[in-house]
């Protein structure tokens, strides 16, 4: 069944609404991370946290998960390496050399020490949203992703 778009302008669509939510959350996250005085940006924090979540993650996998281009990911990783928060090791994967990323103890501790504040921020965002609404949002998000993937084919 094809749905007719009833809105006349982009700014009236749900896509615009979602984009504005994302922009506002990222802006607030930037401010909160800056206020923590960790010495890294919110973007670097997200990359470091993602590396902490995935054991033996390749640099390309990280780029894919965070939807960042390879050069941007490389730049951030180099900065995190300089701050001794991340280490890269070269590995052979199916005959191809890849960088495996791992958070150092210093990096893991930085995440561990500051995550409660970030979790509180995230919890505050959803203060007036029920668990059922959050689950609905997850289901809709997955459905949008699947539909978008199908459109690209």
Query: Which pLDDT band holds residue 102 (cuts at 50, 70, 90)?
Result: very high
Q: Which domain holds residue 102?
A: 50-107
The whole-number pLDDT of residue 7 equals 65
**All residues at 6 or more sequence positions from 36 whose CB lies less than 8 Å from its CB, including other chains:** 114, 117
DSSP code of residue 127: T
Residues 59 and 13 in one domain: no
What pLDDT, in 10s, does the model give residues 109-152?
999 999 999 999 888 888 899 999 999 999 998 998 888 888 86
Q: Do both 29 and 57 map to the same domain?
A: no
The CATH number that applies at residue 63 is: 1.10.10.10
Question: How high is the pLDDT of residue 5?
Answer: 61
**89 and 63 in a common domain:** yes
Structural domains in the chain (count): 2
Regarding whether 93 and 60 lie in a shared domain, the answer is: yes
Instruction: Measure the CA angle with vertex 112, ends 36 and 49; round to 5°.
Output: 85
Spell out a b/e string for 26-49, using b for 16 or more CB atoms within 10 Å of the CB, else e.
eeebeebbeebebebebbbbbbbb
Q: Are the CB atoms for 80 and 47 separated by under 8 Å? A: yes
- pLDDT reading at 2 higher than 70: no
The pLDDT of 28-42, averaged and rounded, is 90
pLDDT at 85: 98
The reported pTM is 0.81
User: 33 and 55: one domain?
Assistant: no
pLDDT in tens, 46-91: 999 999 999 889 999 999 999 999 999 999 999 999 999 999 998 8
How far apart, in Å, do the first and last CA atoms of the chain sit?
19
CA dihedral sign of residues 101, 102, 107, 112: positive
Q: Considering the domain boundaries, does residue 124 fall inside one?
A: no
Phi then psi for residue 85, to 5 deg, are -100, -20
Domain shared by 58 and 33, yes or no: no
For residue 98, give the nearest of 57, 50, 46 by alpha carbon: 57
Q: Are residues 94 and 57 in the same domain?
A: yes
- Looking at residue 78, its pLDDT comes to 97
């Amino acid at each position: 069944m094809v749905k007719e778009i009833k809105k006349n302008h982009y700014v009236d669509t749900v896509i615009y609404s979602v984009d504005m939510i994302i922009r506002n959350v990222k802006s607030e996250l930037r401010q909160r991370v800056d206020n923590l005085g960790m010495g890294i940006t919110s973007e670097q924090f997200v990359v470091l946290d993602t590396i902490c979540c995935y054991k033996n993650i390749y640099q390309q996998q990280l780029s894919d998960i965070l939807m960042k281009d390879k050069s941007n990911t490389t730049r951030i990783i180099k900065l995190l390496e300089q701050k001794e928060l991340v280490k890269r090791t070269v590995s052979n994967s199916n005959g191809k050399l890849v960088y495996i990323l791992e958070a150092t103890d210093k990096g893991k501790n930085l995440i561990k020490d500051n995550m409660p504040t970030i979790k509180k921020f995230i919890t505050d965002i959803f203060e007036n949203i029920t668990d059922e609404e959050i689950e609905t949002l997850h289901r809709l998000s997955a459905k949008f992703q699947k539909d978008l993937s199908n459109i690209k084919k």
